[in-house]
Amino acid sequence: MPDWFYTDALANQQGPVDESTLLDLGRAGILKARSLVWREGLEGWIPFRNVASELYTLRKSAELDSAAADRSAPQSEAPPRVEIGVCAFSEQVYPAGELLPYGEALVGPDHKDNFVRRLMEGAAEEISDATEQGMGYVGFWWRCLSSLLDYLVKLLPSWLFWVPYYIATMSSTIKPMSDPESLEGITGMTLVMAVTYGIGVLGSLLFSVAYETWMVGRYQATLGKIMIGAKVVNPDGTRLTYKRAFVRWLAKKPLNYLILWGPSTLGFALVIGVMVGMGENPGVNEASFVLTMMSGLFVYAALLLLCSGIYWMAAFDPEKRALHDRVAATRVVKK
């Protein structure tokens, strides 16, 4: 049996203990659903509720095998997986069959009397099913701060990819002045500017995807999230794979930018087109032109605000998910 380690209420590491002892600690209330556990072979510490079902299933299988051995009967087939739930009163993990339903909540058998007593005493607190709870989600403004910090972290490395383009641009403003009749020189410089511009775009893009995919896959957080004490996890609290981290980047950058800037850019282009048409019409007075311009700017701002809902939806979502969290099925939680 593998040795398990766990964290106590003061976040101190304890152990090693075997699987049976780990379950007994859960039944005794020492381990809660959110308590972290680890054994050799796991990539990192995970919540106890994520392994409780597997451990209860192994215990059930051992009990059946022991009973079969006592009867000298053939070894029984593997039992079905033991589903678990979390007590809304104590946050302890129990096999689902032992939990007592109360509305949408589930209450452990060891706490039903205390639960009923609290209700009879008139406690007005709202108790809900804690099976899917236990993770503290990071709020909208904290996520804005982490995004700003990540932007500052990536600013200098991304800028380095643009240095060749800046040099080419400065050279293009000097060379035509020294030889204004050299069409070949101008064409060559234009090609250099196009190539260096492509290097800047591609380099910045590759750095962005490498930075976010590797940091989230390796450390569960970018530097910005590490600074605010947050991490990116799966819905069950486990670590993301590198593949999932890459999918999250695809949703966070290309998809989000397309949704954010696509409609607003088209709206802005339409406004500019209307204004150009009005400017070429001598019958349009200045007041109408200004009114059209102000209306166009309002439409552009409204489209930009509406499309930015892919980000500010996190402020109203119970699990603080932005669009890319929904697409990639991830959560940003407190460490």
- What pLDDT does residue 128 have? 46
On whether residue 29 sits in a domain, the answer given is: yes
- Band (227; pLDDT cuts 50, 70, 90): very high
Q: Nearest to residue 311, comparing CAs of 153, 148, 143?
A: 143
- What pLDDT does residue 67 have? 67
Tokens of residue 14, six digits: 């304890």
Q: Measured between alpha carbons, how far is 78 from 187 in angstroms, rounded to an integer?
A: 74
- What pLDDT does residue 9 have? 77
User: How many domains does the structure of the chain reveal?
Assistant: 2
pLDDT value at 176 more than 60: no
Q: Clarify whether residues 145 and 33 are in a common domain.
A: no
What average pLDDT does the chain have? 80
Q: Are 299 and 195 in contact (CB under 8 A)?
A: no
Which amino acid is it at 124?
A
Q: Clarify whether residues 104 and 150 are in a common domain.
A: no
Mean pLDDT, residues 76-103: 82
pLDDT value at 142 more than 50: yes
pLDDT value at 180 more than 90: no
Q: Measured between alpha carbons, how far is 220 from 233 in angstroms, rounded to an integer?
A: 7
For the entire predicted model, the pTM comes to 0.57
| Range with the poorest average pLDDT among 225-234, 284-293, 311-320 | 284-293
pLDDT value at 297 more than 90: no
Q: What is the DSSP secondary-structure string of 140-153? A: HHHHHHHHHHHHHH
Q: Nearest to residue 143, comparing CAs of 260, 304, 308, 312?
A: 312
Tokens of residue 9, six digits: 């209420």
On whether residue 170 sits in a domain, the answer given is: no
Angle formed at CA 184 by CA 178 and CA 190, multiple of 5 degrees: 85
Q: Nearest to residue 264, comparing CAs of 313, 307, 312, 310?
A: 307
Considering only the C-alpha atoms of the chain, give the largest distance between any 2 of them, rounded to a whole number of Å. Answer: 104
On whether residue 298 sits in a domain, the answer given is: yes
Q: Clarify whether residues 46 and 115 are in a common domain.
A: yes
Mean pLDDT, residues 284-302: 74
Q: Nearest to residue 47, comparing CAs of 136, 135, 128?
A: 135
pLDDT value at 257 more than 60: yes
Q: Clarify whether residues 146 and 115 are in a common domain.
A: no
What pLDDT digit, counting tens, does each position of 21-54 carry? 999 999 888 999 888 899 988 878 888 988 998 8
Mean pLDDT, residues 176-188: 54
Where is pLDDT greater, at 120 or 210? 210
Percent of the chain scored above 70 by pLDDT?
A: 80
Element (H, E) at 95: strand 93-95
Mean pLDDT, residues 129-155: 79
On whether residue 108 sits in a domain, the answer given is: yes
Q: Are 29 and 89 in contact (CB under 8 A)?
A: no
Where is pLDDT greater, at 201 or 105? 201
On whether residue 296 sits in a domain, the answer given is: yes
Residue range(s) defining the domain that contains residue 316:
140-155+204-334
What would the 3-class secondary structure string for 8-40 be?
CCCCCEEEEECHHHHHHHHHCCCCCCCCEEEEC
pLDDT value at 311 more than 80: yes
Q: Are 245 and 217 in contact (CB under 8 A)?
A: yes
Q: Nearest to residue 333, comparing CAs of 46, 61, 105, 89?
A: 46
Q: Clarify whether residues 303 and 239 are in a common domain.
A: yes
Q: Clarify whether residues 116 and 144 are in a common domain.
A: no
Percent of the chain scored above 90 by pLDDT?
A: 16
Q: Clarify whether residues 226 and 308 are in a common domain.
A: yes
Q: Clarify whether residues 151 and 270 are in a common domain.
A: yes
On whether residue 222 sits in a domain, the answer given is: yes
pLDDT value at 187 more than 70: no
Q: Clarify whether residues 107 and 52 are in a common domain.
A: yes
* CA 195 to mean position of chain CA atoms: 35
Q: Clarify whether residues 265 and 144 are in a common domain.
A: yes
On whether residue 272 sits in a domain, the answer given is: yes
- Band (240; pLDDT cuts 50, 70, 90): confident
Q: Clarify whether residues 246 and 326 are in a common domain.
A: yes
Where is pLDDT greater, at 101 or 215? 215
Give the 3-state secondary structure of residue 176. helix
Which residue's structure tokens are 């379950």?
23
- What pLDDT does residue 125 have? 44
Residue 248 CB burial class (10 angstroms; 0-12, 13-18, ≥19):
buried
Q: Measured between alpha carbons, how far is 60 from 66 in angstroms, rounded to an integer?
A: 10
What pLDDT digit, counting tens, does each position of 325-334 carry? 989 888 898 8
Q: Clarify whether residues 211 and 295 are in a common domain.
A: yes
Q: Are 335 and 229 in contact (CB under 8 A)?
A: yes
On whether residue 321 sits in a domain, the answer given is: yes
Which amino acid is it at 28?
A
pLDDT value at 129 more than 70: no
Q: What is the DSSP secondary-structure string of 255-296? A: IHHHHHHHHHHHHHHHHHHHHHHHHT-TT--HHHHHHHHHHH
